[in-house]
Amino acid sequence: MIERPAAPAAERLFFALWPPSSVRAQIEAFTNQLGNPRGRRMASPNLHITLLFLGRINAGQRDALIAAASALHLPAFMLTLDRCGHWPRSGVLWLAPAVTPGALSDLQDSLTAGARMLDLKIDEREYLPHLSLYRDVKRVPGTLPSPRIRWPVRDFVLVRSDTHPDGAYYTVLQRWRLGG
């Protein structure tokens, strides 16, 4: 009997904007101003804006997604995080842009189109770019301060999410530069 090698395990993946350390420091400083909203604060290394959640992906699908992302030629852009809000239903306290830059929409649309070409199941809800600061927040005391964090977006990443009892751990698998 010939033994076949085990098929590679599927990985839980997503495309994201990953803030550079200077922007991450500004996000941390802003988050510190919020006091304690009685939720689970996102660990600093996990701060990101999801572009497209892919779910469990096998190695062949991952390679095809990497090829599709590598073929993109999109511009760098400035992202301003100037809104802070809370979604009571999901319990997420977040930062977001008041106005989504066209280049961000184009990047997200291009990644979504590539995933659809592979017949991957994609969330059909409207894309709302946001950066989660806290999870499981039941109620936000008082009014939220207004942020003004400018993020020069020069790249995007493919991330693997590994879930453990103490939370999620993210590993950047690949990075793509955005042009001009």
Count the neighbouring beta carbons within 10 Å of the beta carbon of residue 73. 10
For residue 170 the two structure tokens come to: 């993210």
Catalytic residue (one of 48, 73, 86, 164): 48
130 is catalytic: yes
Distances (CA, A) of 118 to 1, 53, 142, 169: 34, 14, 46, 26
Distances (CA, A) of 31 to 2, 34, 35, 41, 141: 56, 5, 8, 9, 14
Residue 6: partners with Cβ closer than 8 Å, 6 or more residues away: none
48 is catalytic: yes
Active site residues: 48, 130
